């Protein structure tokens, strides 16, 4: 699910489930590949809410969380940032990231 700055608090910080947020941009080739993998994972019962946010259109959160490189992955639990990683990932790496931080 793609969100905007105005939805961030409701969809991420107030979520009852852990949330994986991917910061991306339309000009980022690895982001497009990862988007397909995230859609696949979102259809599975991973235990996570999977969210994407475009850094070019949502500068408030990109700035607040100091996103300097993309794709950037953050995991939030009960409104707290508990994990952060930057760079392209394989599907296995994404699955491992989710499993290790659940």
Q: What domains sit in the chain, N to C, each tagged with a CATH number?
A: 2-100 (3.40.30.10)
72 belongs to the catalytic site: no
**Could you say which of 21, 28, 70, 74 is catalytic?**
28
Beta-bridged to residue 86, according to DSSP, are 72
Altogether, the residues listed in the chain come to a count of: 102
pLDDT tens, position by position, 32-57: 999 999 999 999 988 999 999 999 99
Q: What pLDDT score does 10 carry?
A: 95
Contact between 101 and 94 under an 8 Å Cβ cutoff? The reply is no
* pTM for the predicted model, two decimal places: 0.93
Query: Residue 62 pLDDT more than 90?
Result: yes
Task: Name the token pair of 57.
Answer: 């259109």
Q: What pLDDT score does 102 carry?
A: 82
**Could you say which of 3, 19, 31, 74 is catalytic?**
31
Mean residue pLDDT across the chain: 95
């Amino acid at each position: 699910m793609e969100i905007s700055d105005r939805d961030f608090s409701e969809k991420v910080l107030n979520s009852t489930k852990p949330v994986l947020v991917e910061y991306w941009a339309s000009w980022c080739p690895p982001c497009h590949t990862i988007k397909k993998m995230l859609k696949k994972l979102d259809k599975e019962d991973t235990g996570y809410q999977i969210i994407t946010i475009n850094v070019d259109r949502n500068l408030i959160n990109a700035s607040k969380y100091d996103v300097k490189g993309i794709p950037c992955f953050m995991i939030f639990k009960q409104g707290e940032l508990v994990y952060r990683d930057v760079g392209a990932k394989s599907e296995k790496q994404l699955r491992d990231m989710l499993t290790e931080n659940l």
